[in-house]
Structure 1
């Protein structure tokens, strides 16, 4: 074998070994999924900010208990609000859909379907695990607050102990200069 053919063979062998080494290295490299932000952290280091997404109507157990078959559409709307979905092809059906995704809280999805016969409520299709108002507030509260809840109203004794309000000067200033009296526009001709 000549020197030239030996060099060519070594070059081919080097290219083949380099190709195999690079293919083997690809299996050790992180895949595209490792760079995605669909998980909790990016590259296992940084936790991205997630936008809160709240859609639909919050319907609680107390609200569902207040609506009964036979109520009119207006009465139902007064209790639950306007439905998120009113379908042109299903005019007898109202859909109340609620979804919420918050960072630090479990996602919530609920679907309530009301069926009407004319203007009267005929059927209520709601999940049995609807939360009460207090349970819903506790489920979306991501703040770690310790202690008792803040006081929201004053007692009658506290109201009486308040100082009387101070009278403030008139908000409209007195006119400066001569006051003119013009005749009405209709009288001029």
Structure 2
């Protein structure tokens, strides 16, 4: 009986010692990787093909959303650190880019 109690105490102390060891946490990245240099090249008057060449296929495009708006969504949560989210919306009128909304540009203007 004493051997069992000593074994339990030893295992418990070893496990409590392991709690101070940092654990590895995975980075989670979802959506389109949005590059500032590519977004800066998108101009009013561009065709959808030109926008797709620069930014790739939009994250959200289809029958259930507006055909005249493409959304590029990016989400990055590092194992440790601050979560980064970004959305770039490209609006089309008559088959050409009418305007661009970028959440990063809006956040930097607010700083």
**1:82 alignment partner in structure 2:** 57
Secondary structure in structure 2 of the residue aligned to 1:86 = coil
Gaps of 5+ in 1: 1-43, 132-189
> How many residue pairs end up in the alignment?
88
Secondary structure in structure 1 of the residue aligned to 2:80 = coil
Alpha-carbon distance between aligned partners in 2 of 1:54 and 1:116, rounded to the nearest angstrom: 28
How many angstroms does 1:122 deviate by?
1.1
Change (3 A) 1:45 1:103: same
How many angstroms does 1:67 deviate by?
0.7
For residues 50-102 of structure 1, the C-alpha deviation after alignment (integer angstroms, 9 at most, x for no partner) is 22211111223221211101100000001111111114231111000001112
Alpha-carbon distance between aligned partners in 2 of 1:51 and 1:123, rounded to the nearest angstrom: 36
Q: Which runs of 4+ in 1 moved over 4 A?
A: none
TM-score (norm 1): 0.41
Q: Which has the higher contact order (CA 8 A, sep 6+)?
A: 2
How many angstroms does 1:129 deviate by?
6.2
Alpha-carbon distance between aligned partners in 2 of 1:76 and 1:130, rounded to the nearest angstrom: 23
Of 93-102 and 51-60, the range deviating more from structure 2: 51-60
Change (3 A) 1:54 1:94: same
Gaps of 5+ in 2: 1-18
Alpha-carbon distance between aligned partners in 1 of 2:31 and 2:94, rounded to the nearest angstrom: 25
Q: Which has the greater radius of gyration?
A: 1
What RMSD, in angstroms, separates the aligned Cα atoms of the two structures? Answer: 2.3
